[in-house]
Structures are given as structure tokens and as C-alpha cells.
Amino acid sequence: MLHNLRQLARYRGLIQTLVARDLKARYRGSVLGFFWSFINPLLLLLIYTFVFSKVLPGTHPEEIEPYALFMFCGILPWTWFSSSLSESANVLISGGNLIKKVLFPAEILPIVTVLANMIHFFFGLPILVIFLIYYQTSISITELAWFPVVVLIQLILTTALSLILAALTVHFRDIKDILSNLLTFWFFATPIIYPVSAAAFAKTFLNLNPFTHLAVAYQEILFYPGPFGHWKWLLAVGAASVALFFVGYFLFDRLRDSFAEEV
């Protein structure tokens, strides 16, 4: 397993190329091209803002005004997370040709999926910055220094889950359908469109959800003023993510030989 992990470093170039291919191919042929990376989250944001400020006004507490900005802090990373997982669940099957016909370390495929979605996340950030400037939010440098840490932890967590999902879906195709429902549930079980304080009755439950802490971290850094107080939870999730990554990679490695036969 460790040997394979080290091997993976040798495939840096391939991973880079495949991520670039993924991004190029995604918007090839569409008029707006890369702008879709901006437009998609923007439209999503508009819909949620409309629903929660016009259709259901007064459903959110004062502390999360401006609401659009609050929501955007959570939706952007969530999109990265959920797209990565749902794409990874399918990636070994749709990339079956590569696994079956080319000598190819299969873990590259879910990793590329996660990385490509991370790039999309980065493309969404300028919009977030525009919002931050528009609403004149004050962000301290010390808080901002935590931002890459949060991104890194989310990367590890997403990769770990993607590896597990990719490997298991080869054997249990039902996972794809279960996952799409689970992700919807997960979205609402995470304080993204509501603040943690609004769901105090389910505090333990929220705390068990690793994405709660990522969402809260993003919100504390970008939205709420004041010092970054969530770092203990964040680092705990970080440690758990690293552990999960090894578990996921171990599982993936164990099932590796079955991929070429099962996809």
C-alpha cells in the first residue's frame, strides 16, 4: 500500500494532464465556456436568495445577514464536495476502458475528479471575493491564514470518501442511487443555508457531521467577524480525514485487482 502511494507521486504529470483534460472537455463546445464555472454557483445563489428572502422571508435570524453572502460561503465548498463524491462513484465504471485496457493506477481517476472539482471551487472564489467587497466584510489576515488549511482538510476528506465510494460502487452499483439521495439529505443536515445556532436542538448530530465543521470554518473565516474560534473542531476533522484517507486507500488497494474484472 505504501509502495503504491509512493508510486502515485510518479504519476503527478498524468494527474495534472487529466485534470486539465477534464476541465477543457467539460466546457468544450459551449458558448460561455469557462464562465459556466462562475455562472453555475451564481445562479444557485440567486435561487436560494430568492426563496429565503422573498418566498420565505423572516425564516432566518438576523445574525446571518447579508444572507446571500452567508449561504455562498457554505454552498461553494459544498458543491465541490458533493460533485466530487457523486462523480467519483461513477468514475471507475465510466473510465472502465482505461482500467481494462491500459496499465493505469485506478486511484488516479477519483483523485482527478476531486482535483478538477477543486479547481472549479477556486474559479468560484472570485465571485465570493466580489461579494465580500460589495458587503464590505472585514476579514483579518490571521483568519484568512486558516483558509488554505480548511481547503486542505476538505481535500483530504473528499479524496478519502471518493476513493471509498469509487471502489465500492464497482461492486455495488446501487451506491450511485443511494448517494444522490444521501447527498441531498446531507446538504440539509449541514449548516449551510441556516446557522448552527438555528439548529441547537440537533447539536450533537451536527457535530458528528464532518462537513459541519468545514462549513462553520468557512463561515467564521469569511462571514463572521472576530477571531477564528472553531479551530479545535477543524483540526479534529483534519486528523480524522487523514485517518480516513488511509482507510480509504487501503480499501481501494485491496479491491484494486477486482476492478479490471468487474467494471
Binding site for another protein (CB under 8 A): 13-14, 17-18, 21, 24-25, 28-29, 97-104, 171, 257, 260-262
- 139 within 8 A of 53, measured Cβ to Cβ: no
Cβ proximity to another protein: between 88 and 241 the closer is 88
Q: How far is the CB of 13 from another protein (least distance, A)?
A: 6
Cβ proximity to another protein: between 100 and 203 the closer is 100
Q: How far is the CB of 101 from another protein (least distance, A)?
A: 4
Residue at grid coordinates 468557512: 218
Cβ proximity to another protein: between 31 and 102 the closer is 102
Cβ proximity to another protein: between 14 and 198 the closer is 14
Q: How far is the CB of 172 from another protein (least distance, A)?
A: 10
State the sign of the Cα–Cα–Cα–Cα dihedral 201, 203, 204, 209: positive
Q: How far is the CB of 171 from another protein (least distance, A)?
A: 8
Cβ proximity to another protein: between 28 and 54 the closer is 28
Cβ proximity to another protein: between 44 and 260 the closer is 260
Q: How far is the CB of 82 from another protein (least distance, A)?
A: 24
Q: How far is the CB of 50 from another protein (least distance, A)?
A: 34
